[in-house]
Structure 1
């Protein structure tokens, strides 16, 4: 069983996976490679002069994998509570289990709704429905969290990346039983 599974590997999902894996948590990152970030051009992403969406997504995947996240190219089709975690079923029929699942599915709420996760009206232009979350990113179902556009934050990639990191820190903190902080220092 994974400690953390993230569904969706755009900026929110890959950022969440990067934080979880770097914190030493067994981390699964499931991506169907259909996210809208790949179609974008970014000149407003802090720390990067400019970058195309495909390169931004690939860089995020590489960072998460570098720290130990397992990246799986699949379409998640079902979530169900099981024992002390959540079972994720994919289109190919494979199943994965995780203590915590972070939904970072961009504009898509169908997987969440099918699992009984509460949704609400979105506030961003063209985003009709989002997952209802509390300030930490928790949904109404224990062990299921949401981050990024699907959780109602702005569609801007830099903002969704930050939200993915925030939710991951909250999941890690819950797993650890104490607030988690990750600050690297320059080597002397």
Structure 2
């Protein structure tokens, strides 16, 4: 059983996975590769003068893999509560179990609703419904977290990326029982 399963590998899901995997939490990311980021162009992403959405997604996936997350290119089709966590099945017939789930599902709240997570009307254009999350990203279902557009933050990629990182830090902190901080420093040359 994984510590964390993340559904979605756009900026929110990939950022969450980068942090959870780097923190040593066993992480699986299940992604259908159908997110809106694949159709985006960015000139407003901090530290990147410009980048097309497909490249941003590909770099994020490569980074989460490098840090130890398992990446599964498949469509999640079902999520259910099981003893000690959650089971996720995919269109390709794979099955995964995790203690916690992060829903970084963009415009869709289907999986969370199936689990009983509370929702509310969205505030962004074309985003009809979002998860009703607390400040840390928890939904009303213990063990189910939401990040990015599905959690009600702005649809802008840099904002959803930051929200995915925030949710991951809060989830890692809960698992560790102590506030988690991830700050690397440049190693001196010579």
Q: Which of 17-26 and 71-80 deviates more?
A: 71-80
CA displacement, residues 71-110 of structure 1 (integer Å, 9 cap, x when unaligned):
0011112211111111112122321110110000011112
CA distance in 2, matches of 1:102, 1:184: 25
CA RMSD of aligned residues (A): 0.8
Normalising by structure 2, we get a TM-score of 0.97
Q: Which of 106-115 and 5-14 deviates more?
A: 106-115
CA distance in 2, matches of 1:15, 1:183: 15
1:18 corresponds in structure 2 to: 18
Normalising by structure 1, we get a TM-score of 0.98
Gaps of 5+ in 2: none
2:110 corresponds in structure 1 to: 110
Gaps of 5+ in 1: none
CA distance in 1, matches of 2:159, 2:27: 22
CA distance in 1, matches of 2:91, 2:115: 15
2:126 corresponds in structure 1 to: 126
Poorly superposed stretches of 4+, deviation over 4 Å = none
Is 1:97 equivalent to 2:92 in the alignment? no
1:178 corresponds in structure 2 to: 178
* Structure 2 SS opposite 1:13: helix
